[in-house]
Amino acid sequence: YNWFNPGNTLNCNHPVVMELVLDSLRHWVKEYHIDGFRFDLASVLCRGPDGSPLDAPPLIREIAKDSVLSRCKIIAEPWDCGGLYLVGRFPNWDRWAEWNGKYRDDLRRFIKGDPGMKGVLATRVSGSADLYQVNQRKPHHGVNFIIAHDGFTLCDLVSYNLKHNDANGEGGRDGCNDNFSWNCGVEGETNDSNVLALRSRQMKNFHVALMISQGTPMMLMGDEYGHTRYGNNNSYGHDTCINNFQWGQLAERRYGHFRFFSEMIKFRQNHPILKRDRFLSKNDVTWHEDCWDNLESKFLAFTIHDHNSGGDIYLAFNAHDYSVDAVIPPAPQQKHWNRVVDTNLESPNDIAPEGVPLTGSGYRIAPFSSILLKASP
């Protein structure tokens, strides 16, 4: 069988093969002090000798119960090349984390302006309780991501509608066709300042959403400076600039794009309410929404409550192609709102870590942009 794609697949649930795998993993932990493992196309480990899915695959269970491996980070890419898609259903014994492929697809679709995505956006940024709130699982068992090592980079996600894989020598047959990308008006490289500004906003919107979502965030190295593979979404075979880290570009963008990404990561680290160890209750979040069933609505605003210090966080995402005048709720008692993020503003005003005091009870949120407010004394 070839459920793995690169070649014939081992029967990893055979006792002899299973022991080989377990011994190898233990060796990496004991001798090389590896902190954990992410298993590529891990659903293949959930198949029997004939390829049929197993409800309780022995290898997956042994890794979760092993005295050494159970203390490691163990993460599954919960699908394989044979179509066994187990996002939210991967056999886990409350130990395995999963790449949340539904988070990736749903966030991509909302941010680019697809209709009918507001409700699922709320579910995803809240930690995907529909997938992971089972038994003793926690929000951190869901690994949230927009971009991974394969597929489009973040820059290409907002620059290309189609894959451009001719350089791979496979006649364009390789690589995923369902990228949920949007080129913002021009396919590929451009000097159009309006298109470039929109692409910049969209990249920041994605990053804001990722950093405020409950769960474990994952980024692709290079997205922090806007790396491009020029539309190639299956570039593994190239030892060229499309795969090599561009240190010069990082230096050029250190005080713009890179600064925004860095400061948003720091903001998440400094605000525990964005990384709770339990799923949100109705007291933890207020949705400023009364038209969930309106499929044409592409605006979502909500407040995440800090019950300890009153440092609430207000967020709004506008995926419409027009501005939205949002009514900002009152800040908690003895607090006032400070604007931390407005992705429509140019650097360095797009993110102000100390906050800019907000005046009035309304805020005009530009097309394809997002804002973040923090309640402060």
Which residue among 211, 235, 269 closes a domain? 269
Q: What is the pLDDT of residue 3?
A: 59
Range of the structural domain that residue 51 is part of = 15-269
Read off the CATH number of the domain in which 82 is found. Answer: 3.20.20.80
In a domain, 38, yes or no: yes
Same domain, 146 and 285: no
DSSP 244: S
Is residue 20 domain-shared with residue 134, that is, in the same domain? yes
Q: Which residues have a Cβ under 8 Å from the Cβ of 359 and sit 6 or more positions away?
A: none
Give the model confidence (pLDDT) of 263-318 as tens digits. Answer: 999 999 999 999 999 999 999 999 999 889 999 999 999 999 999 999 999 999 99
Indicate which residue of 23, 35, 55, 77 is catalytic: 77
Q: Is residue 221 domain-shared with residue 72, that is, in the same domain?
A: yes
Distance, CA of 375 to CA of 67 (rounded, Å): 44
Residue-wise pLDDT for 172-228, tens only, equals 999 999 999 999 999 999 999 999 999 999 999 999 999 999 999 999 999 999 999
What's the pLDDT tens digit per position in 52-64? 999 999 999 999 9
Question: For residue range 111-123, what is the model confidence (pLDDT) as tens digits?
Answer: 999 999 999 999 9
At 1 the pLDDT is 54
Active site residue 31: no
Same-domain check for residues 208 and 296: no
Domains identified in the chain, total number: 2
Q: Is the pLDDT of residue 160 over 70?
A: yes
* Catalytic-residue membership of 40: yes
> What is the reported pLDDT for 10?
84
* Residue 106 within a domain: yes
**Residues 116 and 264 grouped into a single domain:** yes
CATH number at residue 298: 2.60.40.1180
Residue 103: per-residue pLDDT = 98
Evaluate whether residue 176 is within a structural domain.
yes
- The string of pLDDT tens digits covering residues 324-353 is 999 999 999 999 999 999 999 999 999 999
Query: In 3D, which of 77, 93, 90 has the Cα closest to residue 37?
Result: 77
- What pLDDT shows up at residue 182? 98
State the Cα–Cα distance between residues 227 and 104, nearest whole angstrom. 19
pLDDT value at position 5? Answer: 59
> Hey, what amino acid is at 291?
C
What pLDDT score does 291 carry? Answer: 87
Q: What is the average pLDDT score of the chain?
A: 96
String of DSSP letters for 77-102: ----TTS---TTTS--TTT-EEE-HH
* pLDDT tens-place string over residues 212-240: 999 999 999 999 999 999 999 999 999 99
Report pLDDT digits (tens) over 74-96: 999 999 988 999 999 999 999 99
Q: Is the pLDDT of residue 4 over 80?
A: no
In a domain, 85, yes or no: yes
B/e letters for 202-239, b = 16+ CB within 10 Å, e = fewer, are bbbbbbbbbbbbbbbbbbbebbbbbbbbbbbbbbeeee
Catalytic hit among 19, 23, 35, 40: 40
Choosing from 214, 234, 269, the residue where a domain stops is 269
Q: Give which of 36, 21, 104 is closest to 75, Cα–Cα.
A: 36
